[in-house]
Structure 1
Amino acid sequence: MRRSIPLWCLLSFAAGCDDEPASTAADARVDAAPQPDAAPMRDAAPMPDAALPDTALPDAAPDAMPCEPPESCPEGQRLVGCECLRNVDRRCITDADCRPEETCNEVQRLHICIYEPPPTRICPGPDCPAGADSALFAAAVSKVITPDGFEIAAPAGLDGAEINFTPPFGEGQWLDCGLDALCPDDDGYPGPDEGEGDGKMQGIWMAGFSSGRPATLCPPERIGCDGVDCCVSKWAHDDLNAQIVVIRQNGLTVAFAALDVVGFFHSDIERIREMVEPLGVDLLITGSTHSHEGPDTAGQWGPGNPLPAYTGRDPRVLQKIQAQVVDGIAEALGALAPANVQAGVIDTGVRGLSITDSRTPYIFNDDLPVVHLTNAETGAAIATMASFGMHAEVLWSDNQLLTADYFGFARKYIRQGLEAVVDIDGVEKPALPGTGGVVVFFAGTVGGLINPGRGGALDYAGNAPAEVHSFEAADAVGQTLAAHVLTGLRDGRIAPVEASGLTFATRRYLLPIANRAFQLASIARELIIRDVYNVALIGGATVPGEPMVQSQVAVVRLGPITWFTAPGEAFPESLVGGFPGRPTTRSPVIGDVAEHRAAAVCGADGLPVEGGDQPCVVRPDQENPPDWDAAPMPPYGYDVVPGEVPFFIGLGMDFLGYLVPDYDFQAVDFGEAPGDHYEESNSVGIESARRWWTHLNEVADAVR
């Protein structure tokens, strides 16, 4: 398998980065991002949620300009006076130079566009009064978001098994045949198309692991055949989708969208929100499955390895996703029907799910919340919503085919059902009828670091795949998840509930990008592209402090069901607890029960002890283990949200990387602290978990 080089390492070649592989292939980092090469940003204290400007400036035109402004500015820049400024540089002259939500203010003798997030929005409320119809209406739509076409690397452009496609691109390194990927000598060649012969590779760069992994085409013999390795088209093994559910009650409308991508920035979601607001949508909740087998929607996995030459974000990909979500919501709004609801939470355990936890403490949140919506008049399925917390990367790093990974297989089997089988012990297992309708799967608590690196997948019959990282393995995980859902519906654990009192609360907030690598990737190299707030860019430094980004958290209640979001990769223990000497919430899996990383030599508290025979939350030889005395006491995430059916949506409303708990956050500039501290290198900073927790409590209290 390919080695994954951490983000910080790429910046410091002269410092002598350790580029050796992890102790085993399965321990290699799964989220490593590229590192731009530039001077570090100014070391300034983070700003509060809302900057406190010195003086508001009148919205008036300046005096006559002593210069001639350019006719236009390059993409990603805006005209301020006579100067083109990058969008990350929020200097201004008047309010007209700012975004609609910003005002031009004087801060430390500079004029800067300042944004102050609004207070918590609660609905029903003053700006969203409740209607008189207490009936619940629902509809669901599935939209394909697979890229429409792309160019591929030629064998000469690859670096053996490492799939290292590094600029400058030379002749013969890729097939410059346009977005239809048909070259003049190919059968069915229709003539030149967009991008053909332009000297630029129109590639799709796959997210996760290391940069420079180009998607490729499915071989013709695998298209349309019958088998787990067969492809739906030449562009993908299986289609990437946006799965959409809309619910309405008492005039309040909430839309959910689950996207088969690694993550979607808040500013990209805002473009969708702006387009659906006129349709009467009061709240849009998006969540990403965090797939490492799909296109780079963040920008940090573009061409080149170890250093990407430019962003991996493709505007065509982003625009298609946004357009399909808008169209899907519009279709669902036009198909709303009276709905009944079944809901519940299933404890999955770890058997058959290919679960590995590669960061201490070894705690797995095995909650599988399910919400099943049916047409109240016909009984037909509308949608089945679920959430599960493991990285979508069973295919691992050598895969080049676009796929939804195990989530795609789980959706298929929940919808279609599972056939009766005789398992490996000779026991007959019954057929499980499918639900029909649209199946909507969100990522759960994938942080800290829940991944399929060590294998362990089993299909419905209990058979293990021939290869740990394969479509057969992803299919097996999908079967196991589907069996949990379908069995829960059959035996009543997913039970009818009274669907009343639809309410929500949501909070926008700012937080600093404290991670130096992310600062450089977004500001110096323009790899990561998202809206930045409340700073000016002066001589390569951000003034008055670290650049700020906007994020968001939401809680939605419907009867006993509570959907709640986190804007990144939340750790399981943040929701369930389970630290040594601390209580747990609900019934998580405590300790490395599969003994992937630690033998069962611990006591009841999960800590190593002589003569111990219980699963461990930490290895006996762990370097720099967490300070368990500093681990938080309750309440944990599941404690603060109301309702009997908590439904967590990870990477919801944003993509901030890992939300590392305070007690064990150890970050160094351009490196990793000793022990298990990789996640800090792919986190916006310590404030990402802190501010999420603060504002989650606010919105949860608002709907309690």
Structure 2
Amino acid sequence: MSARIRIHASYLLPAILIGGAALTACGDDGNTSSGAGASSATSSSSSGNTGGAGGTGGAGAMVGAGGMAGAGGMGGAGGAGGSGGMASALEVGVGVRVITPSLVETEWNDVNDDGYYDPSKETFTDTNNNGKFDATWLAGFGAGRPATGINDNVEVRAIAFRQNGKTVVVAILDVIGYFIDDMDKVRADPTVTALGVDHILIGATHLHEGVDTIGLWGPTEGETGLNPEYQKMTRDRTAAAIVEAVGSLKPARMRVAQTKTLNPDGTSTLQYVNDVRDPVIYDPTLTIARFTEEGDPTKTIATLVNWSAHPEYAGSGNHLITADYVHWLRHVTEGGLPAEGIAGLGGKTVFVQGALGGQVGPGGVQPLGIDGQPVPKGLPKAQAAGTNVAKLALDALEKNGQDETSSDIVFREKEMFAQVDNLRYHFAQQLGLFDRQFYMYDPQKPIEPGNIPHARSQVAYLQVGPIAMITAPGELHPELWVGGYDGSWSFGQPILSVQENAPDLTTAPKGPYLRDLMLANPGVKYAFVGGLVQDFLGYIVPSFNFVLDPDNLYLVEAAGDHYEETNSIGPKCEEHLQHPMMDLAKTP
């Protein structure tokens, strides 16, 4: 099934629930809460040179000791300088834990052979004789998809950085998304708090062939797919991966490369990735950073890889648990391809998702197999895509990689409250489909203008030497990252093809864009988005191209290219989620 017609992340609830829900529907009324946007911000730097926020002595920066400047440094007395001495070496550690579920029941009589379980007319094999279909429900491609087996393990992988006493950890789970509420529970785990880590970033690969960790893809629409035992297991093992990463910290060297996943012709990307929503704008940049032991550069501690694409290359017909292309990307990066004479890097690879909103992924893509022929679908397609991306990354690192000596850690973060207008999310929260708290409204009163739920969320800026990541609490549309309204990020494709409700590009925002702001930070050479990190709030759609069906707000996709709006928090998603990213990316 192509990305264009799929309902892979459909939060559809039956129409009957609309009438039965005890609330008054609200739409894109334009009501702005005074509490929306960033409510707090912090900034820190491990370098004693100029600190984080504060520039030449402004308040707000926490500065680690050991910088090259003396007391006060460039910031004057009490300003941004460190306390003297040479900056300490960068330390890196890594941790991995398996989060593959134990499957209880996997067989049902799929009478119409559509791959979905229909309890009204289909039976299942009740192996434990409890009268209930104890399936593991797959997230993505709609509700009612039972897992039938396991192709490869899904995991949580964490990478830790320490410099001048400041420690930051990035942990990424192979799941469709992870709410901030679960992330906070991980951070509060006693084994984690005992580490004294300064900052912990948690995110998801946005896997579409793993367990439902959000609650919207259960046995039927309107029934949660959450398994409390599995949720706890993911939290416990994320905590364990973080502990392992911090416990394995050791002095490291860094080598970094960037390339684009382009076909051999140098223009098209369609052997790797595509965008199937207008405007066709996407960033196929592939970033790889290898961290090796300081005393032996042949021994890899960890490798960080960032790229943007929905992990759904195996397609909706696959019912086996798999990390999709992410699995093969990590596997080949570590182990290479001996049959092709390609050496891997060893160590452990941590993959961070990018700006994949707007249907950036496998739609219309045919990666090449080992025989040079296109692989059109299924798990072989996912394997070919992940393998080929890893090959490009390894080649770029070998031929164009730069050994970087700067290793200062800079960290900034903001917390905000984002207005949730989406009726689906209202229903899901009230029906208990997902386990997430809403704020700034009275749940005992109808949801209407003046009483609209808000979601607490976060964004963060992390810089390690020349590498900088800005986190997105959802699926950021790439045009909100690169701009590209002139066609410069369309890679030979028409930027517009759909006529109905087409975006008016003359009303698109002007630069500088988020990527521009990131690259303007001191010392930054390589910038990328950490997608679905710090929270998961659906698609982050540009305001100028946000269109809803006028008669069925959020419940029916508007004509044209507007599926993503139905799976966003609402028309304020850019203002309340991407604008804080812009603020955080600006050079202090």
Please show how residues 28-39 of structure 1 align to structure 2 within 5 Å.
28-36=6-14, 37-38=17-18, 39=21
Please report how far the alpha carbon of residue 459 of structure 1 lies from its aligned counterpart in structure 2 after TM superposition.
3.2
Give the C-alpha shift of residue 411 in structure 1.
0.7
* Alignment-mate amino acid for residue 687 of structure 1: K
Count of residue correspondences: 532
Q: Give the match for residue 433 of structure 1.
A: 343
1:122 is displaced (CA, Å) by: 0.9
Deviations 1:305-347 (A, max 9, x none): xx34x10111122111111110111112111100111113211
Among residues 224, 242, 246, which one is paired with 1:311 in the alignment? 224
Letter in 1 for 2:387: Q
Instruction: State the shift of 1:201 in Å.
Output: 2.8
**Mapped partners of 2:339, 2:103: distance in 1:** 39
- For residue 301 of structure 2, what is the amino acid of its counterpart? I
Residue in structure 2 matched with residue 209 of structure 1 by the alignment = 141
1:328/1:25 CA distance change after superposition, 3 Å = closer
Q: Contact 2:256–2:403 (CA<8 Å) still a contact in 1?
A: yes
Contact 1:46–1:545 under 8 Å retained in 2 = no
Are 2:574 and 1:697 aligned?
no
Contact 2:288–2:397 (8 Å) recurs in 1 = no
| TM-fit CA distance, 1:630 | 0.4
Q: Which deviates more, 503-512 or 571-580?
A: 571-580
Match of 1:364 in 2: 282
Secondary structure in 1 aligned to 2:386?
helix
> Counterpart in 1 of 2:74?
none
1:618 is the counterpart of 2:496: yes
* Residue 96 (structure 2) pairs with residue 142 (structure 1): yes
2:131 counterpart of 1:199: yes
Which aligned pairs between 1:64-463 and structure 2 lie closer than 5 A?
118-124=39-45, 129-132=63-66, 134-155=88-109, 158-167=110-119, 173-177=123-127, 196-217=128-149, 236-275=150-189, 276-304=192-220, 307-308=221-222, 310-349=223-262, 350-351=268-269, 353-379=271-297, 380-419=299-338, 421=340, 431-459=341-369, 462-463=372-373
Instruction: State the partner residue of 1:656.
Output: 537
Are 1:635 and 2:512 an aligned pair? yes
CA contact (8 A) 1:246 1:254 kept: yes
Aligned to 1:4: none
1:210-242 residue CA offsets vs partner (Å, 9 max, x unmatched): 11001113xxxxxxxxxxxxxxxxxx1000011
Q: Which residue is 2:82 aligned to?
A: none
Whole-angstrom CA distance in 1 between matches of 2:393 and 2:371: 16
Distance 2:270 2:556 in 1: 35
Counterpart contact for 2:418–2:577, Cα < 8 Å = no
Instruction: Say whether the 8 Å CA contact 1:413–1:479 is kept in structure 2.
Output: yes
User: How far off its partner does 1:127 sit?
Assistant: 9.1
The secondary structure found in structure 1 opposite 2:576 is helix
**Any conservation in 1 of the 2:332–2:344 contact (CA below 8 Å)?**
yes
For residues 375 and 657 of structure 1, the distance between their equivalents in structure 2, rounded to whole angstroms, comes to 38
Q: CA deviation at 1:248?
A: 0.6
**Which segment drifts farther, 667-676 or 386-395?**
667-676
Cα displacement (A) at 1:354: 4.3
Q: Distance in 2 between matches of 1:460 and 1:441?
A: 23
* Displacement of 1:499: 3.1
1:553 to 2:485 alignment: no
Q: State the AA in 1 paired with 2:245.
A: A
Describe the superposition over 1:477-519 as per-residue Cα deviations: whole angstroms up to 9, x where unpaired.
112101111101211x221112332110011100111111221
The answer on whether the counterparts of 2:515 and 2:528 sit within 8 Å (CA) in structure 1 is no
The amino acid across from 2:536 in the alignment is F
CA contact (8 A) 2:329 2:390 kept: yes
Q: CA deviation at 1:159?
A: 4.3
TM-score (norm 2): 0.85
State TM-score, norm by structure 1: 0.72
Structure 1 352/671 Cα, relative in aligned 2: closer, same or farther at 3 Å?
closer
Deviations 1:400-453 (A, max 9, x none): 1000001101111111112454xxxxxxxxx22101111111211211111213
Q: Is the 8 A contact 1:340 1:375 kept in 2?
A: yes
Query: Counterpart of 1:120 in 2: which secondary structure?
Result: strand
Q: Do the aligned residues in 2 keep the contact of 1:240 with 1:404 (CA within 8 Å)?
A: yes
Aligned to 1:111: none
Contact 2:269 / 2:284 at 8 angstroms: preserved in 1?
A: no
Distance across 1 between alignment mates of 2:131 and 2:121: 9
| Residue 163 of structure 1, CA deviation | 2.3
Q: Is the 8 A contact 1:352 1:477 kept in 2?
A: no
Q: Is the CA contact (8 Å cut-off) linking 1:27 and 1:453 kept in structure 2?
A: no
Q: Which amino acid aligns with 2:33?
A: P
| Paired residues of 1:293 and 1:404 also in contact (CA < 8 A) | yes
- In the alignment, which residue of structure 1 is the partner of 2:437? 531
The reply on whether 1:579 has 2:456 as its aligned counterpart is no
Residue aligning to 2:48: none
1:41 aligns with 2:24: yes
Contact 2:546/2:565 (CA < 8 Å) preserved in 1?
yes
Aligned match of 2:527 in 629, 646, 661? 646
Secondary structure of residue in 1 paired with 2:188:
helix
Q: Pairwise mapping of residues 469-488 of structure 1 onto structure 2 (< 5 A)?
A: 469-488=377-396
With over 3 angstroms needed to count, the CA separation of the structure-2 counterparts of 1:532 and 1:437, relative to structure 1, is same
For the structure 1 residues 397 and 369, does the alpha-carbon distance in structure 2 shift closer, same or farther, using more than 3 Å as the test?
A: same
Distance in 2 between residues matched to 1:693 and 1:648, nearest whole Å: 11
Distance in structure 1 (CA, Å) of the matches to 2:195 and 2:305: 26
Q: Matched residues in 2 for 1:543 and 1:665: separation?
A: 19
- CA 488–45 in structure 1, closer or farther in 2 if over 3 Å, else same: closer
Q: What is the rounded CA distance, in whole Å, between the counterparts of 1:45 and 1:665 in structure 2?
A: 13
Between the aligned partners of 2:101 and 2:458, the Cα distance in structure 1 is: 28
Deviation, 1:677, is 0.7
1:437-477 deviations in Å (ceiling 9; x for gaps): 11111211211111213231113553322xx2222111111
Distance apart, 1:277 and its partner CA = 3.2
1:683-694 equivalences in 2 (<5 Å)? 683-694=568-579
Q: Provide the C-alpha distance between the structure 1 equivalents of 2:570 and 2:182, rounded to a whole number of angstroms.
A: 21
**Cα pair distance change 1:536/1:45, threshold 3 Å:** farther
CA distance in 2: counterparts of 1:451 and 1:27, whole angstroms = 14
**Aligned-pair distance for 1:288?**
1.1
Quote the Cα distance in structure 1 between the aligned partners of 2:333 and 2:177.
24
1:565: how far off? Answer: 0.7
Deviation for aligned residue 1:674: 1.9
How far residue 279 of structure 1 moved from its aligned partner, in angstroms, is 1.5
Matched residues in 2 for 1:368 and 1:401: separation?
Answer: 27
Percent identity among equivalent residues? Answer: 32
Query: Aligned to 1:629, what secondary structure does the other structure show?
Result: helix
Q: Distance in 2 between matches of 1:351 and 1:548?
A: 38
Structure 2 letter corresponding to 1:672? E
Separation in 1, partners of 2:351, 2:171: 9
Structure 1 residue 667 corresponds to structure 2 residue 548: yes
Structure-1 residue corresponding to 2:402:
495
- Structure number with greater Rg is 1
CA distance in 1, matches of 2:183, 2:3: 35
Say if 1:120 and 1:355 are closer, same or farther in 2 by CA, change over 3 A. same
